[in-house]
Structures are given as structure tokens and as C-alpha cells.
Amino acid sequence: MIGFIRPQLAKKRGSHAVSGLSRQRARRRALTELFRKGNPPGFRDALGLLDALGSERDRLWCLGALAGLRTLAAGDREALLAAAPSSPARRRLARRLGKP
């Protein structure tokens, strides 16, 4: 919609924002695809890869992917929940994992 209202402003600001968004999305999708294929095989190693993501939102996205794509031992479930950036995020992940 901004492009229709102020096309010049959208051109100046939009290209940088879109390129940054594309890189973030690409990293998030790449990690999700790795997790889907079972890589890395160790859960702690997979959790460590999340440090490479720039934003809490991206880390939370990938935590959700790990929660949905892997069968987790009790200790791994607790580590996943501890890695969530906020209490509401932990509660959402806990619900996804089937914990109250």
C-alpha cells in the first residue's frame, strides 16, 4: 500500500528493508530445513545453531520448528523451553509440546 501512496519513498526505504527481510527469512528457512532433515543429529547442537539468528522472533520461529519436528527427551524439552525469549513464548512452546 505504501508503494501506491508514496512510490519514491517506498523505493528509497523499501529495498533495504526487503533485502534484510529476505536474508533473515532465508536463514530461518535454512535452519528449519536442516531440522526437518534431522540435522544436526544432536538436539543441543541444533539448539546452538539458533545463536546465529539475529532476532528473537527468528529464534522463536526455529524453536517452534524444533518442537514440532523432533521427539524430545525430558531434558531437551526443558532446554527448549529455557531458550524461549519470554514467558509468553515459553507458554506457547509448552502448549505445542503438550505440557500444561
Residue-level pLDDT at 17: 44
Alpha-carbon dihedral sign for residues 63, 67, 70, 74: positive
pLDDT at 90 over 80: yes
Residue-level pLDDT at 7: 46
pLDDT per residue as tens digits for the range 24-52 = 888 888 898 999 998 999 999 999 888 88
Q: Where are the domains of the chain?
A: 2-97
Q: What are phi and psi of 33, to 5 degrees?
A: -65, -40
Residue-level pLDDT at 11: 47
What would the DSSP string read from start to end of 5-43? H-HHHHHHHHHHHHHHHHHHHHHHHHHHHHHHTT-SSSH
Q: 13 falls in which pLDDT band (50, 70, 90)?
A: very low
* Distance separating alpha carbons of residues 28 and 52, to the nearest angstrom: 10
